[in-house]
Amino acid sequence: MPVYPPLPIDPILPALREAISNHPSVVLQAPPGAGKTTRVPLALLDAPWLVGRRLVMLEPRRLAARAAAYRLAEQLGEEAGQTVGYRMRQETRVSRQTRIEVVTEGVLTRMLLDDPALEGVGIVVFDEFHERSLPADAGLAFCRQAQEVLRPDLKLLVMSATLDADALAGHLGAPVVRSEGRMYPVETFYLGHALRGLRPEVPTAEAVRRALRETEGDLLVFLPGTAEIRRTQELLVEEMDGVEVLPLFGDLTREEQDRALRPAARRKVILATSIAETSLTIDGVRVVVDAGLMRVPRFDASSGMTRLATLPVARDAADQRRGRAGRQAPGVCYRLWSEHEQQHLADARSPEILEADLAPLALDLAAWGAADPSELAWIDPPPAPAYARARQLLADLDALDDAGRLTPLGRDMADLPTHPRLAHMLLRSPHPAIAADIAALLEERDVLRGQPGSNAADLRLRLELLNILRAGDRLPASWHHMTVDRGAIHQVLQNANRWRQRLNVNRQPSDPALAGLVLALAYPDRIAQRLADGRFRLRDGRRAILDERDPLANADFLVAAALDGRPEGARLFLAAPVTREEIEAVLGGQVDTVDEVVWDRDGERVVAKRVRRLGAVVLGESPLPDAAPEAIARALLGEVGARGLHLLNWTNEAERLRARMAFLHHHFPDWPDVSTETLAGTLSDWLGPFVPNVRRLDEIKKIDLVPALTALLGWERQRRLDALAPERLEVPSGSQIALDYSDPAKPVLAVRLQEVFGMMETPRLASGQVPVTMHLLSPAQRPVQVTQDLASFWRDTYFEVRKDLRGRYPKHYWPDDPSQAEPTRRVRRG
């Protein structure tokens, strides 16, 4: 083997070779900078079990894959593409003599789907597995099944810097080989900023200036995304004398990335995303400035939407970043946050499979032939709700049949290296040239940023930009309000040309006016209809918001390509207008025609109509003259139930009847329950037959409720009602006094005391089970006694009451013996 400069991993390479020779799977744990990426593949190259076969090494990022391949080839004194090559989306450098292939995650998945046995491959190496990307988890699961079923001689090596190696090894049934590595000391300073809600550009720029004053060597600065990198670069570039400020992120061109990675004559400040956390060492870096934030996709399975969330970095990632300063010499790390906040960071990043859009994985599993994820061995299985949502999307895109198997269209979609939504659009679009342009635009970061009030959300503007640049024209003056991301637009043009070549439409023009029609093929679930309040209603019924100053806000229908998942109203960031006719043309098979009888709150009436709808989006409606009376009653009574029984015609007679019925239900539970809750929940049963063809609220207020309530009793109970709960009682004076059933436990008879002279027994109701509560009144109708025992009142209390009443009502009759006295309704002298 060639002699290389020593690296910390070198001492354990013999043990690693032996472990891999004797076991189908091995876990290698080695800290950052140990040399995993650049040493291990070469150390395995001449292993007997690898003779005549290739080593495939998975790298999670394109930048790392390309750089690793070049570094490995350099150690062999070769160019990339000879013994060592690489494959990534839209860029490949391999030859017949290639023995080591460094591939990105999508490429490994494609290799497995095209050849599940991985013929000609001796080992698959998973580098930087601690990042737990979804494609890496899926690739490992596929490889393990291939190893078990098709290729028992296939070897797997999982390499990680921070993952719990013992737990992973236990899952794989594999031995662990460890390298102690070599890390130079790194002095750490905490700058005390709160990470939550932090806008990092200004404090990061201040930390960079401090680091330039206090330290030597190049600086590696971690920021959450490209926007923060650009803004920080603008703050630094004007005042940096003798210092080169360079961005480093995945969407840069290869030349721009290489410029940041190469040694320079001047001191460098490299502004990077998390792309620079791991893998290759960047020569010359002695200082790290960490903004402490990471940008991660968060998928909401209930809405089907993915949004980018900016979160505090996890502790393992922060340690990875810090370690970049100590790979080649002692270094310094400036952390924007406080030492106290460091103690509250999450230990590790959450595996992407638990929070990602699973539609690509579901399509890959269907292409693999797995009917259910449980057929494979996962470190963390896909969450069931998100996976079910992904399968439903694939069914909506006609990628799966009714049995859940891959359709011919689905197989073609799986062959395209892009998201299933875009694959469906590319394969089904009647206008492939514009589909190619839209796919390229959506695969990269947004190429335009607009000022508030501009039509920044309009996808058509991006398509127009592509047309202008293809023609070699200058942007017109009307574009002054827009900022073009030159790096992104360069990549989009390249990708669009590749898609056009693949679809054989290289020279066809692209008509931006067709954007909505084509986009609907990718996002059939994101059709949105403008409502009267200016918001948009999505197909699933959710509401979405677009800046009212954006001209797209006036469109009747939109297709949303980018929006967040806010529950109070998703914000639309990228969309295209679409007409009703275009929706019908593209998604006509999914449009339902239904007869609806609904309540119109504006007109306070029932409306019957025939509606053509795509989910919650209404495409057209017409009057329905012959609606079923039952449906009309259901809509009317549904509104009454929602708003309350007070809308009904509760006359005194109806109220009294309901109270008597409530009394009987209280004492005889088998009698009908007429509580508010029960009546509101059973309106169609008891009131429905009495509202034939009633459509308006003012009409229902005229309906007599007495027959409806009486009907609840049935014939036998109607016959017994007056005996068990009479409306009135006759007292000794001959008066018919109404009973008060307001309290069903204690019905009340309020009567003047003089009218019940001679009544010795308290009246009883409900077949004698319930005594009436007597409210005995003075001649002025004021209560003087409440009792359920008249005999006791006459015997013990009457004479005391009589003293008071004689004084207050001297003209009235207050006999010495009320049991024998004549009752009276009038004034009568004693």
Beta 84-88 vs 100-104: how paired, if at all?
Answer: parallel
Nearest to 319 by CA among 33, 28, 6, 9: 33
617 vs 639: CA distance, rounded Å: 22
Q: Could you tell me the CATH superfamily of domain 10-178?
A: P-loop containing nucleotide triphosphate hydrolases (3.40.50.300)
In the chain, where are the structural domains located? 10-178, 186-354, 358-417, 423-590, 591-725, 728-808
Gap between the Cα atoms of 725 and 767, Å rounded: 9
Per-residue pLDDT at 551: 87
Report d(CA 444, CA 440) in Å as an integer.
7
Query: Is 80 exceeded by the pLDDT of residue 254?
Result: no
How many CB atoms within 10 Å of residue 708?
A: 21
Query: Average pLDDT of the chain?
Result: 89
Whether the predicted pLDDT of 246 surpasses 90: no
d(CA 335, CA 189): 6
Q: Secondary structure of the chain: what % helix, strand, coil (to 5)?
A: 40, 20, 40
Q: What CA–CA distance (Å, rounded) separates 156 from 176?
A: 12
Tell me the pLDDT band of 181, cut-offs 50, 70 and 90. Answer: low
Max distance between CA atoms of the chain, in angstroms, equals 136
pLDDT(235) > 90: no
Residue 58, beta-bridge partner list: 103, 126
DSSP code of 552?
A: G
What confidence tens digit (pLDDT) does each residue in 490-528 have? 889 989 999 999 999 988 888 999 999 999 999 999 999
Bridge partners of 528?
A: 538, 558
Check whether 238 has a pLDDT greater than 90: no
Residue 636 has pLDDT above 90, yes or no: no
- Dig out the tokens for 818 from the structure: 């009320």
Residue whose token pair is 């399509």 = 363
- Of 406, 398, 402, nearest to 362 by C-alpha is 406
Which helix (H) or strand (E) segment is 751 a member of?
strand 748-752
Tell me what pLDDT residue 1 has.
Answer: 46
Contact indicator for 273, 223 with CB cutoff of 8 Å: yes
Nearest-CA neighbor of 270 among 251, 250, 248, 289? Answer: 248
Q: Are 393 and 359 in contact (CB under 8 A)?
A: yes
Residue 813, pLDDT score: 86
Return the sign of the alpha-carbon dihedral for residues 309, 311, 316, 320: positive
Give CA 167 to chain center in angstroms. Answer: 30
- Give the Cα separation of 312 and 318 in Å (integer): 10
Task: For residues 44-69, give the mean pLDDT.
Answer: 91
C-alpha to C-alpha distances, 776 to 113, 149, 801, 820, 821, nearest whole angstrom: 92, 94, 11, 18, 16
Q: Among residues 823, 794, 826, which one has the least CA distance to residue 809? A: 826
Instruction: For the chain, give the percent of residues with pLDDT over 90.
Output: 54
Where helices occur in 669-713 by DSSP H, the ranges are 676-681, 683-686, 697-700, 705-711
Place of tokens 């609907």: 520
Q: Compute the Cα dihedral for 279, 284, 285, 286 and give only its sign.
A: positive
φ, ψ dihedrals at 716, nearest 5° = -65, -45
What would the mean pLDDT of 88-97 be, rounded to a whole number? Answer: 88
pLDDT per residue over 193-204, tens digit each? 988 878 899 999
pLDDT score of 260 more than 80: no
Give yes or no for a contact between 659 and 742, defined as CB atoms under 8 angstroms apart: yes
Burial of 343 by CB count in 10 Å (0-12 exposed, 13-18 middle, 19+ buried)? exposed
Reported as a single tens digit per residue, the pLDDT across 449-462 is 766 555 688 999 99
Rounded to an integer, the average pLDDT of 824-828 is 76
Instruction: Assign domain 186-354 to its CATH superfamily.
Output: P-loop containing nucleotide triphosphate hydrolases (3.40.50.300)
Q: What is the mean pLDDT of residues 559-571?
A: 81
Cβ neighbours of residue 670 closer than 8 Å, sequence gap 6 or more: none
3-state SS, residue 640: helix
Query: What is the per-residue pLDDT for 604?
Result: 80
Strands 748-752 and 764-765: unpaired
758 and 778 Cβ atoms separated by less than 8 Å:
no
Interacting residues of 382 by C-beta distance below 8 A, sequence separation 6+: 353, 358, 361, 373
Res 2 pLDDT > 70: no
**CA–CA separation, 547 vs 575, rounded Å?**
12
CB 318, CB 346: distance < 8 Å: no
**692-703: average pLDDT:** 82
Spatial separation of the C-alpha atoms in residues 799 and 790, rounded to whole Å: 13
Q: 710 exposed, middle or buried (CB, 10 Å; 0-12, 13-18, 19+)?
A: middle
H or E stretch at 527: strand 527-530
DSSP string across 56-91:
EEEESSHHHHHHHHHHHHHHTT--TTSSEEEEETTE
The 3-state DSSP class for residue 537 equals strand
Average pLDDT of the segment spanning 591-595: 91
Beta bridge mates, 312: 293
pLDDT value of residue 707: 94
Distances (CA, A) of 786 to 623, 663, 779, 781: 62, 20, 15, 13
Q: How far apart are CA 453 and CA 549, in angstroms?
A: 4
Distance (Å, whole) CA 140 – CA 131: 13
Tokens of 434: 């514009």
Given a contact cutoff of 8 angstroms between Cβ atoms, the answer to whether 724 and 666 are in contact is no
Helix (H) or strand (E) holding 780: none
3-state secondary structure (DSSP) of residue 714: helix
Structural tokens at position 450: 């607009």
pLDDT at 672 over 50: yes
**For 435-445, how does the pLDDT look when each residue is reduced to its tens digit (9 = 90+)?**
999 999 998 88
For the chain, report the end-to-end CA distance as a whole number of angstroms: 135
Q: In this structure, are residues 331 and 360 in contact, taking their beta carbons and an 8 Å threshold?
A: no
Residue whose tokens read 């998945």: 109
- Contact indicator for 51, 200 with CB cutoff of 8 Å: no
Q: What is the pLDDT of residues 294-325, one digit of tens each?
A: 888 777 665 565 667 788 998 988 988 888 88
C-alpha span between 636 and 627 (Å, rounded): 13
Same fold, 10-178 and 186-354: yes
Q: Residue 493 corresponds to which tokens in the numbers above? A: 């043009």
C-alpha 490/C-alpha 447 separation (Å) is 9
810's tokens: 């001297």
Complete DSSP assignment for 721-766: HHHHS-SEEE-TTS-EEEEE-SSTTS-EEEEEGGGGTT--S--EET
Beta-ladder partners of 306 = 299
Name every residue whose Cβ is closer than 8 Å to that of residue 472 and which is 6 or more positions away in sequence: none
Q: Is 97 exposed, middle or buried (0-12, 13-18, 19+ CB in 10 A)?
A: exposed
Local structure of 183: helix, strand or coil: coil
What is the spatial distance between Cα 679 and Cα 670, in angstroms, rounded to a whole number? 16
Mean pLDDT of 586-595: 91
| pTM confidence score | 0.76
Each residue of 50-59: pLDDT tens digit? 999 999 999 9
Residue 280's alpha-carbon distances to 64, 91, 607, in angstroms, are 7, 20, 68
